Amino acid sequence: MSSFCAYFIVFLIFQEITIGLAIAIYNKFSPQWLIIIVCRILQYPTCFLAIFGVRKSNPAMIVPFMLSQVSLGSYADLHTYIQLVSLCNSSSSKESFVFSNPIILIVLPVLIYSSLLVIFIYSMYTIVREITVSRGIVPHSIQDEYIL
């Protein structure tokens, strides 16, 4: 069951990277968008490594995917969102409530994103632990009693 969830999560993230890359390529080529494109492209090898790691039941191949999502993925996602918000604000000539309220525009989406990131970290941790236990490694050798 954990491998199905791992495949599902990896393919969801793969689609998110692809959509984010398409948005970044579609927009103007400024230094900000080029950095986002580089971050998105750097995420692809770790996705393929995670798919291979789930197939071979090797948690050491899944960990780079987790780290790249937390670091590169978070930066690219939040920076893309901020860039799109600034593009919408600059193209909007009239002030509306949605574009003028920073709580709805910035704080709420970042709070939702951080909640999803915590769920991602916990689910990937659970998957890595289940794969490690299913490989026959004694669970007491995993030093995680302070994590949960």
Report whether pLDDT(97) > 70: no
Question: Can you tell me the distance from the alpha carbon of 67 to that of 64, in angstroms, rounded to the nearest whole number?
Answer: 5
Per residue in 123-143, pLDDT (tens digit) is 999 988 888 887 765 555 555
Q: Judge whether 63 lies within some domain.
A: yes
CB 2 within 8 A of CB 128: no
Q: Judge whether 53 lies within some domain.
A: yes
Q: Is pTM beyond 0.95 here? A: no
Q: Judge whether 127 lies within some domain.
A: yes
Choice among 24-38, 67-81, 97-111 with the minimum mean pLDDT: 97-111
Q: Judge whether 145 lies within some domain.
A: no
Q: Where are the alpha helices (DSSP H) in the chain?
A: 2-26, 31-55, 63-68, 74-91, 97-100, 102, 108-134
Contacts with 2 (C-beta within 8 Å, 6 or more apart), sequence order: 126, 127, 130, 131, 134
Which pLDDT score is estimated for 96?
Answer: 59
Per residue in 66-94, pLDDT (tens digit) is 999 999 999 999 998 888 888 777 765 55
CB 79 within 8 A of CB 35: yes
Residue 13 lies in domain = 2-138
Domains contained in the chain, number:
1
Q: Judge whether 14 lies within some domain.
A: yes
